[in-house]
Amino acid sequence: MNPGYELPLDEAGYSFGFLDEYAKREVRRTILKAISIPGYQTPYASREMPMGRGFGTGGLQVTLSLIGKGDTLKVIDQGADDSVNAVNLRHFVELTCPGVDTTEHTAEATLIQSRHRIPETPLTEAQVLILQVPYPDPLVVVEPSEARRKVMHGEGDYSRLLTKLYEDIVQFDEITISHRYPTRINGHYVIDPSPIPRYDVPQLHQSPALILLGAGREKKIYAVPPYTRADPLAFDDVPFRTEDFTGEQGQRRACERCGATDSFLDELIADDGGKHWHCSDSDYCNSRVAGQAEQAQETWA
């Protein structure tokens, strides 16, 4: 590196995007490696961030390394743009990356950092989805030693993970993993796709957008490159299935706000104990409500 080169700093003494250029370069290099080996957990030197590990530091470092002027960022937490975590992360990026736009609309974003959900609106080739990952290794439930896990990953030996699924079917007649569903990428490495619900897993398959997964505490980055196979682990005769939103009358439940029957629903318990179902993706729900209001106005006018 050129010792005469001075890093451009802002008035608080930070370079653009909080991380110094060398740190960002290292993260970018790791990302390139992660894309080249789909699903491989690439180790990197996760930096200290001005927030606790476990609050999305992994995703944030990936975001800050990729973001530049002209980018538009959307941050989601459990599908919502307005929850504390999402608001704070968005605010942090606005503070440290002058000239970057933020948005709540999936279609407008070039970078989307997300926790626990993949947006309902289909992603495009021009977008990058960054998922925050608490536990990157799906094998951790069956093998405590990381050295041995690495060998198992290298040899594509996931029989013990499948044994876990077998035990589930024996005990409960179905696979009981609700989120973090182990998914095989490009026919070799099995990844923990972060705590997205099963409903979102099929979106990893042949996704037009690049999907990056960053684990800050565990210091790993891995990727699902665009148009790559992503197969959730299952048996030949017990196929993978997503959440069932069938209501009491046997119909697919609809969002009580926007009426959508094609979205992932959150179950909310009201004060009176009644159950309500709303879209988990707030942008999807809001845009539908706004669209319906517009239509209603046109009809009246």
Partner 1 sequence: MKKILEVRGLTKIHGRGCELCLESTGPDMDTNICPHCGSVVACHNITLDLHEGEILGIMGESGSGKSTVVKTLFFDDAPTSGEALFFDGERQWDMFALNAAQQRWLRNHRFGMVYQNPHLGLNFNVSAGGNIAERLLMSDLAHYGEIRDRARRLLARTEVLPERMDESPKKFSGGMQQRVQIAKALATKPPLLYLDEVTTGLDLSVQARILDLILEIQQELGTAMIVVTHDLGVIRLLTGRTIVMKYGRVIETGLTDQILEDPQHAYTQRLVASAL
Of 255, 273, 274, 291, catalytic: 255
CB of 155 to partner 1, least distance (A): 5
What track of x and - describes contact with partner 1 for positions 199 through 238 (by CB under 8 A)?
------------------------------------xxxx
CB of 79 to partner 1, least distance (A): 33
CB of 163 to partner 1, least distance (A): 4
Cα 183 to Cα 229: distance, rounded to the nearest angstrom: 10
User: Closest CB to partner 1 among 162 and 289?
Assistant: 162
Residue 22 touches partner 1, criterion: CB under 8 A: no
Q: Is 97 part of the annotated catalytic residue set?
A: no
Distance from the first to the final alpha carbon of the chain: 65
User: What does the block give as tokens for 68?
Assistant: 């530049």
Q: Which helix (H) or strand (E) holds 291?
A: helix 282-300
Residue 244 touches partner 1, criterion: CB under 8 A: no
Residue 162 touches partner 1, criterion: CB under 8 A: yes
Of 17, 58, 79, 279, catalytic: 279
b/e per residue, 285-299, with b = 16+ CB within 10 A?
bbbbbeeeeeeeeee
Handedness of CA 254, 195, 109, 57 (dihedral sign): positive
Q: Which of 5, 27, 45, 20 is nearest to 96 (CA)?
A: 20
b/e per residue, 260-284, with b = 16+ CB within 10 A?
beebbbbeeeeeeeeeebbbbbbbb
User: Which residue from 1, 12, 170, 301 is in contact with partner 1, where contact means CB under 8 A?
Assistant: 170
Of 39, 56, 79, 214, catalytic: 39
User: Which residue from 36, 124, 145, 159 is in contact with partner 1, where contact means CB under 8 A?
Assistant: 159
Which pairs count as long-range contacts for 118-121, CB under 8 Å and 24+ apart, including other chains?
118/196, 118/200, 118/203, 118/204, 119/74, 119/76, 119/79, 119/281, 119/283, 119/284, 120/262, 120/263, 120/264, 120/279, 120/281, 120/284, 121/281, 121/283, 121/284
Residue 173 touches partner 1, criterion: CB under 8 A: no
Interacting span for partner 1 (CB under 8 A) from 3-11, 106-114, 154-162, 261-269: 154-162
User: Closest CB to partner 1 among 149 and 164?
Assistant: 164
Residue 176 touches partner 1, criterion: CB under 8 A: no
Q: What is the CA radius of gyration of the chain?
A: 21
User: Closest CB to partner 1 among 155 and 272?
Assistant: 155
Residue 166 touches partner 1, criterion: CB under 8 A: yes
User: Which residue from 32, 151, 290, 296 is in contact with partner 1, where contact means CB under 8 A?
Assistant: 151
Q: Kindly list the catalytic residues.
A: 39, 255, 258, 279, 285
- Residues making contact with partner 1 (CB under 8 A): 151, 154-155, 157, 159-160, 162-164, 166-167, 169-171, 235-238
